[in-house]
Chains A and B, each alone.
Chain A
Amino acid sequence: MKRHIRNGINAGITFGIITIFLFMIGFTTTISDLLGQLLQNGSSASVLGFAPGRFDLLVFLFFIGMWAGISGSKKTPDERESWGTVLAASGTAGLIHGILVGGLVLLVGSLLKAGVSMTVYFAQLLPDAIHLFLLGLNATSGALFYVVFLLMTGLIGGAVARTIRYGALGQNIAGWFKNKWHAFTAWPQYQRIRHNRPALFVVYGILILLVILLPQVLGQYWNYTVGTVGIYVLLGLGLNIVVGLAGMLDLGYVAFFAIGAYTVALLTAPAPHHLMWSFWVTVPIGILLAAFAGIVLGIPVLRLRGDYLAIVTLGFGQIIAVLLHSDELTAFTGGPKGVAAVGSPTLFGISLGTPEGFVYLILLGVVLVIFVTIRLRNSRVGRAWEAIREDETVARAMGINTWFHKLLAFAIGAAFAGLGGVIFASRNQFTGPEDYNLMVSFNVLASVIVGGMGSIPGVVGGAFTLKGLPEVLRELENYRVLAFGALLVVMMLIRPEGLLPTSRRKMEIKEIHDPDEKAANGTSGGTT
């Protein structure tokens, strides 16, 4: 059988299983609710004559279907595939995907009609969820619909993928923006400041001074916004280690954030445990527990790569979310109501529990995390991570213990998220399961990708763009999420390496031109 057809079948089966899995755990219902909120429902959906939930579900499945098509048409980068092979591969992927999902719909729909209650076996298979998935059709026509729908979306995905990869339009737009960016970086003033040490120190000095003064000047609202951005920077820097440096796509990252937050909440709040510990004691506990959870997640996924790793970690994030929602665990976690009156930090009798206090605390955390990241990155450990990202097989052949370094990346990334969670819960004085939904993982991942994978200024810039920009865009009201999404798409097309991509360390030049400084500084110098 031809290779592209085989690729298509593999992708079709993989995505068929994924979609079925998502339906079984009730994710399809959750996401259509979520999309419903984002798309502001009503207007657009009713125009097309859909009931709102169904429309949102189809939007979601449209993207999953496209993803299957894109994945199925993937080939070696040096081969330029023709339209025929792309469409054959993505069509095969879409068809298999459709047949699997259609089969499930047929089965579940018929069982529902026969009056079998499936909630006994799968708690999420409520009649409502099934009706939603059937889109109001009966089992047979629903199944047929999915076969056709997923075939079409698969084909669209393949076509989109090929257009972006080789299409003249995609290349032209990308080229134009790249030229503009090069013109800016070649600008003499920019170059002069960039390569002049005293000038850089002055720039940094002013920045630090501003940072110290700013919280005093900003109002409560802006302090809160800056704090939120700062927490996202913490999360972004942690995920940056896992995704940007070690190259492992982790979609369940929110779990570690939740573990940090719930640790501080349960240990400092009056209910449900009445422990009332000091905030400062819980900080290291929260960080360590999150790191431990990182290792626990890491062990089973060590062998997985790429798309498969993404799906498993996504599941892990969902498990934590489900546990936090659980009524059974109310006595332990506070259940759906969450935990109120979380303790806040005090220092020498002065409360830091004010918006300004938290801004300082968060900035301190960010500086610490950046410091640790830079040092790890420019060491043997950081190089091993990057080698794993570039080519895991060769990394092993070069004597790197990939097993250890991948777990280390998971643990350190999770520890940063734990720190973020601790501060987050304390600042809100409350924590509930709603704060830790999937969108957090996606937002953090987006900030890492938008900023530039592996780059520290990139992550900071990305977090500002993702959490700060929507606040600034408030004028656009209901359209801001839409405008923002469009911005992200355009941005990824024209600058896939991110806003502020990493620049490699120049070590040979440095060694030859200023060996004295090198000897004095060790290897501390380096760009980020």
Chain B
Amino acid sequence: MDTIALETRGLSKRFGGLIAVNAVDLAIPEKSIFSVIGPNGAGKTTFYNCITGFYAPEDGEILFFNKSLVGLDPNQIAQMGIARTYQNIRLFANMTALENILIGQHHLLKTGWIEAILQTARMRKEETNALSEALRLLRFVGMAGLGDQTARNLPYGAQRRLELARALALKPRMLLLDEPTAGMNPIETMEMMRFIQRLRDELEITILLIEHDMRVVMGISEHIAVLDYGVKIAEGTPSEIQGNAQVIEAYLGRAATAAA
């Protein structure tokens, strides 16, 4: 609980005059479930894009197990062990479920193009192993039998789970989830919450979560940080955040604070 998996120091990202992320300091302990919440447009997804290397922050430092991520390409960051899912599911739509998972394993495989043409024994062994690993992940997310379905034809819930399986195929040390329970009914939401806890407990993956559903956030997070207009306005345990006047104001406006 002492090692810090991911740390940001004074992280800032501007778009023209808009400061989407403003000097955010965060320290996410290893093997914790850490939520980032905030009203729409608070800069949560921008924060993710800075961590994963898609946006270059103007200012600040991002450390992943004490190694700086600033200036690295997204693929290098993924290879270091940060995998993510998307708010609006982004699968490789015309490829099968298994192929999607195999792509997640890309950086763990070594076959180059010459070996692929020659089809060496090593390459075949690697592919066989990759396929059995993909099938294992498919079962792990409860999708056995759907492996040959094209991703776009899968039902919504299965698409969400497939996206998780693809992220897990990277063998990440940290998983960034962007609203994983969006569009789910209460039962599915409960299942997803248990699943996220399993990822942390069994696979020992640090979880960073963006979520709007407060039952999910309060139910599974150990720490919560609140962003509003790009600024971190509060941080603490779920019970601390629930009683924080500034947070209530950010969500409901000033009148609500006065009433409370």
- Interface residues of chain A, those whose CB is within 8 Å of chain B, are 372, 375-376, 379-384, 386-387, 390-391, 393-403, 408, 412, 504-509, 511, 518-519, 522-524
Q: Are B117 and A399 in contact (CB under 8 A)?
A: no
5 pairs, CB–CB < 8 Å, chain A vs chain B: A380-B102, A396-B78, A399-B106, A402-B75, A508-B135
Query: Is B96 in the interface zone, CB < 8 Å from A?
Result: yes
Q: Are A387 and B52 in contact (CB under 8 A)?
A: no
Measured between alpha carbons, how far is A391 from B98 in the docked complex, in Å?
Answer: 17
Q: Are A386 and B95 in contact (CB under 8 A)?
A: yes
Q: Are B95 and A397 in contact (CB under 8 A)?
A: no
Q: Give the chain B neighbours of A412 by CB distance below 8 A.
A: 113
Interface readout for B72-94 with A: 1 if CB under 8 Å, 0 if not? 01110011000110100010111
> Which of B124-132, B179-187, B198-206 makes up part of the contact surface?
B124-132
Whether A399 contacts B79 in the complex (CB less than 8 A), given A376-B117, A380-B116, comes out as yes
Q: Closest Cβ of chain B: how far from A71's Cβ, in Å?
A: 22
Q: Are B117 and A398 in contact (CB under 8 A)?
A: no
Closest to A506 in B: B148
Q: Are B94 and A390 in contact (CB under 8 A)?
A: yes
Q: Are B96 and A387 in contact (CB under 8 A)?
A: no
Q: Are B145 and A375 in contact (CB under 8 A)?
A: no
Q: Are B127 and A522 in contact (CB under 8 A)?
A: yes
Query: Is B104 in the interface zone, CB < 8 Å from A?
Result: yes
Query: Is B252 in the interface zone, CB < 8 Å from A?
Result: no
Interface of B is mostly: helix
Of the candidates B78, B95, B170, the one whose C-beta lies within 8 Å of that of A387 is: B95
Given known contacts A380-B106, A387-B95, what 11 new A-B pairs fall within 8 Å (CB)? Answer: A375-B116, A379-B116, A381-B112, A383-B99, A383-B106, A395-B92, A397-B52, A401-B75, A408-B113, A507-B131, A522-B127
Closest to B90 in A: A394
Whether A383 contacts B102 in the complex (CB less than 8 A), given A398-B166, A508-B147, comes out as yes
Q: Closest Cβ of chain A: how far from B49's Cβ, in Å?
A: 10
Most buried by B among A398, A402, A505, A511: A398
Q: Give the chain A neighbours of B170 by CB distance below 8 A.
A: 398-399
Measured between alpha carbons, how far is A504 from B79 in the docked complex, in Å?
Answer: 27
Query: Is B14 in the interface zone, CB < 8 Å from A?
Result: no
Closest to A371 in B: B117
Q: Give the chain B neighbours of A506 by CB distance below 8 A.
A: 96, 148
Q: Are A390 and B93 in contact (CB under 8 A)?
A: yes
Interface readout for B109-121 with A: 1 if CB under 8 Å, 0 if not? 1011100110101
Closest to B116 in A: A379
Q: Give the chain A neighbours of B98 by CB distance below 8 A.
A: 507-508
Whether A397 contacts B103 in the complex (CB less than 8 A), given A375-B119, A380-B111, A507-B147, comes out as no
Measured between alpha carbons, how far is A522 from B128 in the docked complex, in Å?
Answer: 7
Whether A376 contacts B148 in the complex (CB less than 8 A), given A400-B103, A504-B96, comes out as no
Of the candidates B54, B111, B132, the one whose C-beta lies within 8 Å of that of A381 is: B111
Closest to A384 in B: B106
Closest to A372 in B: B117
Q: Closest Cβ of chain B: how far from A428's Cβ, in Å?
A: 30
Measured between alpha carbons, how far is A220 from B23 in the docked complex, in Å?
Answer: 76
- Size bracket, chain B contacts: 35 or more
Q: Are B103 and A383 in contact (CB under 8 A)?
A: yes
Of the candidates B74, B128, B148, the one whose C-beta lies within 8 Å of that of A509 is: B148
Query: Is B226 in the interface zone, CB < 8 Å from A?
Result: no
Q: Are B127 and A523 in contact (CB under 8 A)?
A: yes
Q: Closest Cβ of chain B: how far from A294's Cβ, in Å?
A: 14
Whether A387 contacts B127 in the complex (CB less than 8 A), given A401-B75, A508-B98, A524-B119, comes out as no
Q: Give the chain B neighbours of A395 by CB distance below 8 A.
A: 92, 103
Q: Are B145 and A379 in contact (CB under 8 A)?
A: no
Most buried by B among A391, A408, A507, A519: A507
Q: Give the chain B neighbours of A403 by CB distance below 8 A.
A: 73
Q: Closest Cβ of chain A: how far from B110's Cβ, in Å?
A: 8
Query: Is B107 in the interface zone, CB < 8 Å from A?
Result: yes
Query: Is B234 in the interface zone, CB < 8 Å from A?
Result: no
Query: Is B150 in the interface zone, CB < 8 Å from A?
Result: yes
Measured between alpha carbons, how far is A390 from B94 in the docked complex, in Å?
Answer: 7
Q: Are B117 and A396 in contact (CB under 8 A)?
A: no
Q: Closest Cβ of chain A: how far from B150's Cβ, in Å?
A: 6
Q: Are B78 and A399 in contact (CB under 8 A)?
A: yes
Q: Are B104 and A523 in contact (CB under 8 A)?
A: no
Measured between alpha carbons, how far is A395 from B95 in the docked complex, in Å?
Answer: 13
Q: Give the chain B neighbours of A505 by CB distance below 8 A.
A: 96, 99
Q: Give the chain B neighbours of A396 by CB distance below 8 A.
A: 54, 73-75, 78
Query: Is B231 in the interface zone, CB < 8 Å from A?
Result: no
Q: Closest Cβ of chain A: how far from B51's Cβ, in Å?
A: 11
Whether A400 contacts B92 in the complex (CB less than 8 A), given A511-B135, A518-B128, A522-B119, comes out as no
Q: Closest Cβ of chain B: how far from A510's Cβ, in Å?
A: 9
Q: Closest Cβ of chain A: how far from B20's Cβ, in Å?
A: 18
Q: Are B92 and A387 in contact (CB under 8 A)?
A: yes
Q: Closest Cβ of chain A: how far from B108's Cβ, in Å?
A: 8
Measured between alpha carbons, how far is A7 from B79 in the docked complex, in Å?
Answer: 36
Please name the 5 residue pairs, one residue from A and one from B, whose CB atoms are nearest each other, closest first.
A522-B124, A508-B147, A379-B116, A399-B78, A399-B107
Q: Give the chain A neighbours of B165 by CB distance below 8 A.
A: none
Measured between alpha carbons, how far is A397 from B78 in the docked complex, in Å?
Answer: 6
Measured between alpha carbons, how far is A509 from B166 in the docked complex, in Å?
Answer: 19
